[in-house]
Structure 1
Amino acid sequence: MMEYKVKDLGSYKLHLIKNDKFKTIRTKVFFNAPVKKKEITIRNFLAAMLMATNEKYKTRRDIALKCQDLYSCNIGYNISRFGNYSNLCFSLNVLEDKYSEDGNLEEALRFFSDIIYKPNVSSNMFDEKVFQIVKSDALISLSSLKENGDNYSLIRMLEEMDSSSPLSYRAAGYLEDLEQITPTILYDYYKNMVDRDIMDIFVIGNIDFKEIEDIIRANFPTKIFKKITIPCRLEEKNSRSKKLIKLEENDSNQSKLAVGCRLVGLTDYERNYALTIYNIILGGGTDSKLFKEVREAHSMAYYISSVVNKLDNIMLIRAGITRDNFDSVVKLIEQEMNQMKKGKFLDDDIAKAKQIYLSAIDEIEESQSDIIDSYYMMDLLGVDDIETKKKKMMLVSRDDIIKVSKKVFIDTIYMLEGVKE
């Protein structure tokens, strides 16, 4: 059993989850702000910088040694986009004091706070030496973007689909913006982020609520009150009247196909439940219609799958193919989507899809990180809790799935052509 408590501390919410299933205590600190294309690169840079140096631990090696001292605690970060928002998450995983020593958790949380709130700064600028190391890493990462054909094809498809929308923004950032960042500009952005962003802190484990609240209050400063001002979900847009088809050559051995579909006119129930079952049946695994038809029956794909992004109102289909099969694969995708509209799928397909979903939901409870993310989505988006999701998903009917299938429209088809085939 889990016990959940949330406390509004003014400038951030503290979420406490008591669960004695794990030997570790996991803490996540979320910084959430409206996404801006020009800030993506510097936001990534800042997160990497904070993980590389701070006021007390000047180098990555110093930070790693301190983690070892704290019974091999782990720290990290992740940046993702939730619709209209950019979400930066810092995480700490540390052994419960019962399995380490008294005071280890408090010391680890103090260290974690220092990582975020005590940067290595002098004269209003980040340390130049570490700055150049982090910048070099970012330069290598951004310069090699095209080497990953799967990701690059998806990026390019989304840019063609809607270049003015956040759904087209490159998660890693942009080379031209990287060149503009200086140690002073980076520190200015850091101060702005800490003051501006909506913040949530989650702690999960076999914890004492009052003890954790006291430690958090002492180490994570409270400032001004902030709240979400724009909706998380992107504005819904109709699919273009004529599908956009874009081909681009790439020096590789395999062609990468990316198909972008618009989701139009979904109800909340359809978006959160029927759409999930529809996607699993269409392209959610090796039992899916796309996999069986395109890969197994016609041997025209190395892989093929679909995934839904509910906050962006889109569904994505990705496949590895040979370029000579482009037209045939697109026709097969359209054929299977039309079959779904006609209700040409089995009751057994529905039952299997529901079981896949339930298994995935059950796996959430095996991960402290996933449990936190689930509670965060409940708070941020107002989605149902895990038990309610299970019950509602089991009620999804054949008619619900058919209705959803008629609200999914192919908008953009992009292929990164492998010229070495």
Structure 2
Amino acid sequence: MLGIPEKIVKNPGYKLHVVNTNKYKTNTLVWKMKAPLEKETVTLRALLPHVLQSSTETYPSTTKLRTYLDDLYGASLFVDLAKKGEYHIMTFTMEIANEKFLTDSTPLLAKAFELLTEIIFKPNLENNAFTKDTVEKEKRTLKQRIQSIYDDKMKYSSVRLIEEMCKDEPFQLEANGVKEDVDAITPEALYSYYKKALSEDEIDFYVIGDVSEEEVKNLAGQFITLEERAPKPVHRHERKSIETPQEVIEKQDVKQGKLNIGYRTNVYYGDEEYYALQVFNGIFGGFSHSKLFINVREKASLAYYAASRLESHKGLLLVMSGIDYKNYDKAVSIIKAQMEAIQNGDFTEEELSQTKAVIKNQLLETIDVARGLVEVLYHNVMVGKDITLEEWFQKTDTVTKEDIVDVSKNIQLDTIYFLTGTEGQSE
């Protein structure tokens, strides 16, 4: 992978990914747990990593744990939640200095293994449950995180579009869970779910840095013991055909209208047409030279922002724009016109080559940090294929104008969502 080899070792209960590279000055450990996105578990999963990273058996308070991280030459630890397609993924990441660059010989990689596995396997418990104080504190923070989405109208309108567009699909759920479900979670229920997740989730563990594969395998053998499990496949919703797009208009006391439009591409990461779709999105709305940015924002001065992005594991194309209320019809028709232009082949060779260059630069920037490299590699876990970066580059390079026109003709408008001001507001 552009000189970055990935070795995958299958162990009972998890896959170990060793990426031996001297590209980074630190060593990075990333633990990913994947399960189907479900209403019953999404809020438990949103809370769990935050409870686990706040204290452990050996470091029973956040202060003690953070002090120990500082002692490890300022190691960093953080958790994250994401949804990819119909899956919900918990991620634990630890970055630590590479001992090769230090004057003393502290075995930092071993200490990182020891601490990360303690966070995951040896939580701080009381009476066979998580500690009440920790759970209550993290529940308050989780509610604030969910609330912050509703307070940020740009995020809110993106979430509402997905809720309307994917009404009967798990994808409608937000990665941070459901606010109304937080209060009911008890320390006992969360601990019970934690044990279930450890025994059932599909687990991938990445170790990236200037490391020896042998040492990493030995450390994994020393600190990780898991039971074998069968991955749980999710039902990927069949390719949808949209007869009549829906329009949803919501009124709130907002100063600026938010226009979000969702399309079904019916193309997923790993499909042969995916590379053409990526280039299509770059020409359509992915970058600052794209048609949406130039024609909707700059030429027509209709939008404060206008861009598009792909949900590559769900087969969606999402357009986000901020507009004055009175410009709704005009903005919708100009956005539709940009789509039609590409479907009619109305774009230049220069737009095509510029977009390919930007996509490749963006990929190179992503893998400039170890966490970004993990996200790129993890796409392969998601689709059960081994697509290297070289292949990604090469297939992007060979995308033709015809490929883009073909892929764009299969894109179907699904939902237009507009968050507008309440009556009587003028702007």
**1:303-342 alpha-carbon deviations (Å, 9 max, x no partner):** 0001111211110000011111111000001111111111
Q: 2:14 aligns with which of 12, 19, 24?
A: 12
1:268 to 1:170, Cα distance in 2 relative to 1, 3 A: closer
In the TM superposition, 1:138-217 aligns within 5 A as 138-217=142-221
Could you tell me whether the CA contact under 8 Å between 2:69 and 2:75 is conserved in 1? Answer: yes
Greater alpha carbon shift after TM alignment, 95-104 vs 172-181: 95-104
Offset of residue 152 of structure 1: 0.8
Taking the aligned partners of 1:264 and 1:67, their CA distance within structure 2 comes to 45
User: How do residues 112-131 of structure 1 correspond to structure 2 at under 5 angstroms?
Assistant: 112-131=116-135
| CA contact 2:267–2:315 (8 Å) conserved in 1 | no
Q: Deviations over 1:140-166 (max 9, x none)?
A: 222343211111111111111121112
Name the structure 1 match of 2:239.
Answer: 236
For residue 395 of structure 2, the aligned residue among 371, 392, 397 is 392
Aligned to 2:71: 69
Match of 1:326 among 328, 338, 341: 328
In 1: Cα distance, 2:239 partner to 2:186 partner: 37
Which of these residues, 404, 416, 419, is aligned with residue 416 of structure 1?
Answer: 419
Counterparts of residues 327-406 of structure 1 (less than 5 Å) = 327-381=329-383, 382=385, 384-406=387-409
Stretch of structure 1 that moved more, 406-415 or 367-376: 367-376
1:304 equivalent to 2:294? Answer no
Distance 1:348 1:133 in 2: 54
Identity %: 28
- What residue number does 1:260 align with? 262
1:201-259 CA distances to partner (integer Å, 9 max, x unpaired)?
1101111111111111111112123334346x5432222x2221111112222111110
Q: TM-score, normalised by structure 1?
A: 0.95
Query: 1:380: Cα distance to partner?
Result: 3.4
Alpha-carbon distance in structure 2 between the residues aligned to 1:119 and 1:66: 16
Q: Take 2:147 and 2:366, find their aligned partners in 1: how far apart are those partners?
A: 35
Tell whether the 8 Å contact from 2:200 to 2:229 is kept in structure 1 after alignment: no
Answer whether contact 2:37 2:171 (CA < 8 A) is retained: no
- State the shift of 1:8 in Å: 0.7
Distance 1:5 1:290 in 2: 41
Cα distance in 1 for partners of 2:99, 2:368 equals 21
Check 1:269–1:14 CA distance in 2 against 1; reply closer, same or farther (3 A cut): closer
The size of the alignment, in residue pairs, is 419
Supply the distance in 2 between the matched residues of 1:5 and 1:65 (Cα, whole angstroms): 33
Deviations 1:242-283 (A, max 9, x none): 221111112222111110101247896554210001100010
1:96 to partner: Cα distance: 0.8
> How far apart in 2 are the matches of 1:146 and 1:393?
37
Question: For residue 209 of structure 1, what is the amino acid of its counterpart?
Answer: E
Which residue, out of 23, 41, 44, partners 1:42? 44
Give ranges in structure 1 of 5+ residues lacking alignment. none
Pick from 24, 27, 51: which aligns with 2:26?
24
Change in CA separation of 1:201 and 1:269 when aligned onto 2, cut-off 3 Å: closer
In 2: Cα distance, 1:63 partner to 1:235 partner: 46
Q: 1:385 to 1:268 in 2, by over 3 A?
A: closer
Distance 2:128 2:261 in 1: 46
Residue identity opposite 2:108 in structure 1: N
- CA distance in 1: counterparts of 2:145 and 2:79, whole angstroms: 16
2:92 aligned to 78, 90, 93, which one? 90
TM-score (ref. length: structure 2) = 0.94
Q: Does the CA-based 8 Å contact 1:266-1:404 persist in structure 2?
A: no
Aligned residue identity for 1:137: T
